[in-house]
Each structure stands twice: as structure tokens, then as C-alpha cells.
A = this chain, B = another copy of it.
């Protein structure tokens, strides 16, 4: 693609560094900004810079937060003995949206993935292990994605804390609510039979 302006080319290049944004999409976005009032570009740039410079991570659960201890961790109405281990802050938002979980979280910041060069030391695993060993924790729920990397990460953490006297669990895998059985993949269907729940539990909502 040839650009008639270096400024435009630079803006398109930087925009296309974002994941899922190719050169053409980047050009469309940048030209949209050119058609809008200058303030909009200013607001966008400032919001991104402010966020990148000033955002904090909760010292306890590593969730994104504006203060040192996030709202969830500082909420005394939540069950601080129950920790849900997730990969990413998006998972925290997804679980919070269900309204089904009243414990606290621990955000790992990724999964162990040697192929991407991510080892246990790059993740927030030591703080979790320390929390379990020193704190008053009853149960740890693993809510990582069920991929090779997710399972590896679960197992790595499990090995470090198996001496401790706590319950560990993983979220249930099975057929999505509303899905047709015939279209489900066999691994999921197999697991949903293996981990069947007593019928009288199945219509309890919480």
C-alpha cells in the first residue's frame, strides 16, 4: 500500500500493530478520525496514555484497579476463603457478570506456555501459593481455559499446594445451556456424562 503522506503512513502502521487490525482496517479507522473533530483524536490518545501510565494492579489479586486493593478484595461481604483462579481480567468480568460467585479472585496474567516463552515465573503464581500457604483459604477454584496450557498451569499450581489442607476444584465442563446434544463435540459430551450432577441439584440456581 502506498501512502501519499508519511504522517498517515505512521498512524496506520501504529494502528495495525494492534491484534486483529490489518493495514486496511487501520486505514479505515485513521481516516475516520480525520473526518471527526480534532478533539476525538485527542480524547482517544489521552485516554490510552493515561490508562497505560497510571493504571494499577490490585496488590492482592492482580486485577486491574485504580487503587492499591481492588473493590472486590476490599469488599467485606465477599467470601475471602474462596479463591477463583483466572487467566485474565476479562475472565473476572465474565464471572462477575453471572452474579453466581461471591468469593474473591486471583488473576494469573496468562497461562504457562513454553511455545510462547511464558514460564511460571512470568505469571502471578508465587503470590497465589503464598496466599494459600499463609492465609486462611478454604477452597481454590481453577477457572482456566481447558487447553493444554490451561491444564498445565492448573497442574503446576496444584503440585505446589497439594500439601496444604484446602479443597481444589475446577469449573464444570459440559454442554452449554440451550445447546442441542447432537451438535456437541464428543469430549464435552463425554465429560458432561462423567461429571453428571444429582438431578435435585440441577435446578438449584445458587
Contact = CB atoms under 8 A, between A and B. Distances in A.
Interface of A: 1-8, 10-11, 13-15, 17-21, 25, 27-34, 38, 40-56, 58, 63-66, 70-72, 88-90, 92-93, 96-97
Nearest to A19: B32
**Copies of this protein in the complex:** 2
A82 to B, nearest CB: 19
A45 B34 contact: no
Contact of A4 (B14, B29, B46, B63): B63
12 contacts: A2-B97, A4-B58, A4-B72, A5-B64, A7-B50, A7-B54, A17-B44, A18-B29, A18-B33, A31-B88, A34-B64, A41-B52
B32 A52 contact: no
Given A4-B63, A5-B66, A31-B88, A14 B48 contact: yes
Given A2-B97, A65-B5, A42 B51 contact: no
